[in-house]
Amino acid sequence: MKVRIILYLSIIILLTSIIFLSILLKPLTNNTHQSMSHGVIANEFVIQRERYYWSDLIGKEGSAKAYQEFKEKYFQEYQFGIHYFAHVFGEALYLKEGENGVTTCDSTFAYGCFMGFMISAIKDEGIDIVYSLNDVCVEENGSSETGCRHGIGHGMLQYLGNDQLEKTLNICSSLQEVSPLGCTQGVFMEYNRPSIMNPSKAFLSVRKLENDTLLHEPCASLPKKYVVSCYYEQSQWWVSVLNNDYQKIGLLCNNLSSELVKKSCFMGVGTVVSQMTRYNPKKTIAACNLMPTSLGNIACRSAAAWVFTVNPKYEEKYSLMCEGLNSSDKELCLKDSISPDKVI
């Protein structure tokens, strides 16, 4: 009798394990994607399921094939929150392949793979690994690349902490020339919109605005060479903390000290609004039209157009961002619809 009971229990445990593993190995459904867009809410089980699934696939089929499958699945229902599941893929990639695995990542889903990979690598091996990671980034993508080192910036600040902001930026400047994008942008994004995964709440939180006198911090307190990159991210933070008040944000950008910093600020607005409107051309243009000057409007639109071009699902619509402008402004808008690093 006891033997029979033990046999029955063993069968039940085996079946339960099989069912549990089958769930873990199943990627998210489109309905789950929908529920997590913008809010990006996910529980521990969902995160673990994604991590286990992609880690298992990388081990079985190799990172290149697994990443291709990841992109194919999630391009079908591209949502704002999918960026953070690309973090999970990057984590799995690092755990499976070590620092050289970063060569599998690319800029798809707003550098999500790079970010998850770098955060995991630096957390695991410490700050000194950034130099060898940077070498891999440059060897794979050239000295002017930004996406891979954007991830380094995130990983470093998360590892060192916000009170080490300037130290982190100085390490960035030793890795590459300071520009709006790249390592410093990753640092400022991590400062304003930390990417620490908190399964009980959300993948992403936003730094709170304590009072209006701090709207320009940390940019106002940093060395001049970091200001352009800082305001590129600062205006994106303003969109969140000022509840999409684009008119007020436009005035804040326009009151900055130099034309270059102003342009970076306006381009930051265009970068984030195109995503916040879920790539809706009319809504994106409406927000950019609230910029207080013609050049502000053009900079906002051209950055939004650039964001459209780097998303294969929407790249054909990029030129719509420049519609309705007079011929010379439209020409400038289309000309500047490239990486901000090549414009500012």
Q: Determine, yes or no, domain membership for 235.
A: yes
Q: Determine, yes or no, domain membership for 137.
A: no
- Specify the pLDDT at position 224: 96
Q: Determine, yes or no, domain membership for 285.
A: yes
Q: Determine, yes or no, domain membership for 168.
A: no
Q: Determine, yes or no, domain membership for 206.
A: no
Q: Determine, yes or no, domain membership for 302.
A: yes
Q: Determine, yes or no, domain membership for 41.
A: no
Q: Determine, yes or no, domain membership for 119.
A: no
User: Is-contact 114 90, C-beta < 8 A?
Assistant: yes
Query: Model-level pTM?
Result: 0.83
Q: How many domains does the chain have?
A: 1
Domain that holds residue 274: 215-344
Q: What is the mean pLDDT of each run of 10 residues along the chain (344 residues)?
A: 51 43 43 36 69 92 94 70 84 92 88 92 95 93 90 96 97 95 96 69 73 96 97 97 97 96 98 93 97 98 95 90 97 96 90
